Structure 1
Amino acid sequence: MENQGRRSWPLWTAAWPGVGGRIRERLEDFEVEEVAAYEPCGQGEHLFLWVEKRGVGSEYLLRAVAQCLGIPVGAVGAAGLKDRYAITRQWLSVPQECAERLGRLEALHAEGIYLLRVARHRNKLKPGHLRGNRFCIFIRGASAAAPWQAILEKIRREGLPNYYGPQRFGREGSTLALGWQCLRGQLRRRLRPFQFRLALSAVQSHLFNDYLARRQEDGLLHTALEGDVMAHWPVGGLFRVEDVAAEQRRLEAREIVPAGPMFGTRTYPAAGVAARREADVLRSYDLTPAVFAGFGQLLSGTRRHNLIYLDDLQAEWEAEGLRLRFTLPAGSYATVLLREVMKNDAVEAVPPDEAEEE
């Protein structure tokens, strides 16, 4: 049987029991609002549409808007694809010639799609044109007797390991299993391009999680290593650690964070001790860097923050449970935070991703 590696990751707040509870019992229990990389400037050849969807998948949203406006689905721009089982708000873009047809979108109200605002901008919205997502999540049936303050305080003080959430890998790991078949040339059926990309990316995500878990288990999440690849926080370029003591001070000041590998053909290379640790991850799966060649841009590779900081993490108790409010960078998973707070099977049962990243 092929090596698919571990299926769970260490908790960051394992010293305390969670609050338990349930999520997503109602759509309004899970709200997500996109934090744009930039605001529309008010002029240009593109219309930016601030849209709310309720219980609607992202692919369906794009198709429905395109069909209503009489344009190809590829003409609808989006910075990121949002959760289906939630109330979400985000920007879409369409060509300016759609302006006189925007009234048609009222027909989508019956399907849970609402146009809230319109503005003009110079460019089409493209994947990645967002800073992050703002969440408001209600945990029903949570226990106020649990040490929830200690859990949240550790996360506020020390940050949160930036694991991929369980939905990234499909129900019972089905997307990941498919990805291993794709990577190793064992796939016996043709996949849609979207499925193929998602499956391969699940393997990259799994390898990153394994790398991050090893680092956490070795007590190295807040340690600069020789040859580490660092990223400026919250945004900025990459560089390799040469002066360990100097970069350790910057890491402790939250100026930089280690950036782990999304393995691929052009992943920014680590060196020294850090490079050997990354090579050990691949070796444990009987992989070499050469396995990522031949997939073009799909496995070009990148780097991902090992840690994220939640400066606006808030919690308040209501009659039926605990409400959390926080903002995550693009690509980070709310379910990773919920797993730390709840510590039960409810998080593991969330629906699989529709998109590569939230």
Structure 2
Amino acid sequence: MNPPPLDISIGMTVYATHYEGIGGRLRDQLEDFLVEEVLDEIVFKHISEQPKKQGSYILYSLTKRGLDTLHAVKIVEKVFGARVNYLGIKDADAITSQYITIPADAERVRLSLPDRLTLKKLGYLPYPLNRSHLIGNRFFVKIREVERRQNIPQIIEVVLEKGVPNYFGYQRFGSRRPVTHLIGRALVKRRFEEAVNILLTYTTEDEKDNVQQARKILSEDYLNADPEDLPPTLDLERQVLRSLRAQPNNYIRALRSIPLRVRRLFVNAYQSYIFNRTLSKAIEDGEELSSIYQSDLYAEVIGVKILEARKAEGKINNSKKAVLLCPLVGYNFKEEDLGRLGPYASKVLLEEEVSPRSFYIDEMPELSVGGDVRAATIVLTGLHTEVSEEVLSLETTLGKGCYITSLLREVMKPQDPVKAGF
């Protein structure tokens, strides 16, 4: 079964199982897609009812309904007039609970939050949260209108035994407008005008009609377009146009008008695209991602907590307690240090006509990335399923950085991911 064009465009060119997908739809209701962050237990041991020192932070649980993380954080920052530390970007079309910290001395400058946001104070910490505190995410998902329920046991069996490629999921790139990696590619290749052009004008039939029309107008002459004529949702595009009005043709300045967090996401998305293509090439070549051989880079796993990377000195048979690692390329990438999967990443770089050095962006050094490694297969625990008529309810915990949509893609194999709710 061949993946749909959307999958191929973001590097997911294969499936791990040969069974026909069960079909179905996600997110018919917000309550069908619930996400809860899992924090390292050490954080809860450090919580106190009162601040213990100057410079303490307040730990909150932030629950959002149908809102993306970046906008939710922006709202909370306006409420407190302070920077918010958060651990990960969560689905917009879902009900999600995640942890944030705010400086304890921050004064609430606005009293109310939108109905779609809820804050619950949990206590004080002597430090702000950082990515190392996140262990994983717990998911509660319902797939409705299941078409082939008889295939569920076989697919789940393969998922548990051999694992699923740990692809970066659709939301990393934008399922309705898969564009973030294209902007990232242009940035890495120093094509700054092209990056602006893609941001402003690239559209798909899955965007709203008024947005498609706005992008069509921008494609004709965005340098003379009025930023205030854009639909309200195009806030990044509005900022870029304002910058270009002030200094036409200064594309680096225009790009820097976008918040740094978002700009980094563009380069990270390009890394993710190369990662997906690397995994796909390895699978197509017959590599077993569930196995670990001598000289492979791997990490031990406790629950869903992935420990430090290490080099395998021989074959590791118990793959449930260890996971193969795949390179996330950057300027420090060295093929010879990365076991079986290093050469596949090099092939992708060659086809993309970029080098590791390309990821150090001299003109915008704040976007440079050294690279990293990431689990090649999804790390999960506690997978429970329940079938009722045409509904499959699925509950599981995934390791940090693993996408539930990549697991659901394997189970459902949608031919139109957007219509299927991805």
Partner secondary structure for residue 56 of structure 1? coil
Q: From 66, 86, 108, give the equivalent of 2:77.
A: 66
| Higher mean C-alpha deviation, range 322-331 or range 274-283 | 274-283
How far the C-alpha of 1:303 sits from its partner, in A, is 0.4
Letter in 2 for 1:81: I
How many residues were matched structurally? Answer: 336
Correspondence for 2:47: 42
Corresponding residue of 1:228: 296
* Equivalent position to 1:259, from 310, 325, 332: 325
User: Which position in structure 1 is the counterpart of 2:210?
Assistant: none
Superposed CA deviations along residues 293-350 of structure 1, whole A, max 9, x for unmatched, are 3345632100011013322111112355111111111111111011111111453558
Q: Which residue of 1 aligns with 2:394?
A: 324
2:1 counterpart of 1:27: no
Letter in 1 for 2:354: L
Q: How far apart, CA to CA, are the structure 2 residues paired with 1:194 and 1:68?
A: 19
Q: Deviations over 1:79-114 (max 9, x none)?
A: 222221110111111222358x59x76x32x52112
Match of 1:137 in 2: 141
Quote how far apart the aligned CAs of 1:231 are: 2.1
Question: Closer, same or farther in 2 for the Cα pair 1:118/1:255, shift >3 Å?
Answer: closer
Q: Which amino acid aligns with 1:222?
A: S
Once the two structures are TM-superposed, the CA of residue 266 in structure 1 deviates from its matched residue by: 2.4
State whether residues 23 and 346 of structure 1, in contact with CA within 8 Å, keep that contact through their aligned partners in structure 2. Answer: no
2-structure distance, mates of 1:84, 1:6: 20
Equivalent residue letter for 2:158: K
Q: Hey, what's the Cα distance between the residues in 1 that align with 2:358 and 2:106?
A: 45
Counterpart of 1:16? 19
Return the match for 1:116 from 112, 120, 136: 120
Equivalent residues of 1:264, 1:299 under 8 A apart: yes
Q: Following the alignment from structure 1 to structure 2, what is the Cα–Cα distance between the partners of residues 83 and 11?
A: 23
Displacement, 1:7? 4.4
| Residues 7-41 of structure 1, C-alpha deviations (whole Å, 9 max, x = no match) | 4321111x211111111121111100010123432
Q: Distance in 2 between matches of 1:194 and 1:42?
A: 28
For residues 56-83 of structure 1, the C-alpha deviation after alignment (integer angstroms, 9 at most, x for no partner) is 22122223223333x22x2x22122222
Please give the residue correspondences for 1:133-212 in structure 2 after superposition, counting only pairs within 5 Å.
133-143=137-147, 145-170=149-174, 171-188=176-193, 189=196, 190-191=254-255, 192=258, 193-212=260-279
Q: Distance in 2 between matches of 1:6 and 1:58?
A: 22
Stretch deviating more after TM superposition (187-196 or 200-209): 187-196
TM-score relative to the length of structure 2: 0.72
CA distance in 2 between counterparts of 1:268 and 1:238 reads 15
Does the 8 A contact of 2:12 with 2:167 survive in 1?
A: no
Distance 1:17 1:273 in 2: 29
Q: Distance in 2 between matches of 1:114 and 1:195?
A: 24
Unaligned runs of 5+ in 2: 1-7, 197-253
Residues 20 and 413, structure 2, Cα contact 8 Å, conserved in 1: yes
Paired with 1:31 and 1:85, the residues of 2 have a C-alpha distance of 10
Distance 1:9 1:349, change over 3 A: farther
Of the candidates 391, 400, 405, which is equivalent to residue 335 of structure 1? 405
Q: Distance in 1 between matches of 2:378 and 2:154?
A: 18
SS of equivalent to 1:97 = coil
Amino acid corresponding to residue 297 of structure 2 in structure 1: V
Question: Is the 8 Å Cα contact of residues 21 and 346 (structure 1) preserved in structure 2?
Answer: no
How far apart in 2 are the matches of 1:240 and 1:16? 34
Q: 2:310 aligns with which of 201, 216, 239?
A: 239
> CA–CA distance in 2 between the matches of 1:235 and 1:268?
22
Q: 2: CA distance between counterparts of 1:55 and 1:299? A: 31
Distance 1:150 1:273 in 2: 29
Task: Output the CA distance in 2 between the equivalents of 1:226 and 1:262.
Answer: 20
Larger of the two Rg values belongs to structure:
2
Asked if 2 retains the 8 angstrom alpha-carbon contact of 1:176 and 1:202, the reply is yes
Q: Give the TM-score taking structure 1 as reference length.
A: 0.84
Kindly indicate whether the alpha-carbon contact (under 8 Å) linking 1:166 and 1:348 is maintained by their aligned counterparts in 2.
no
Q: Which fold has the larger relative contact order, with Cα–Cα distance below 8 Å and residues 6 or more apart in sequence?
A: 1
User: Which structure 1 segments of 5+ residues have no match?
Assistant: 353-358
RMSD: 2.7
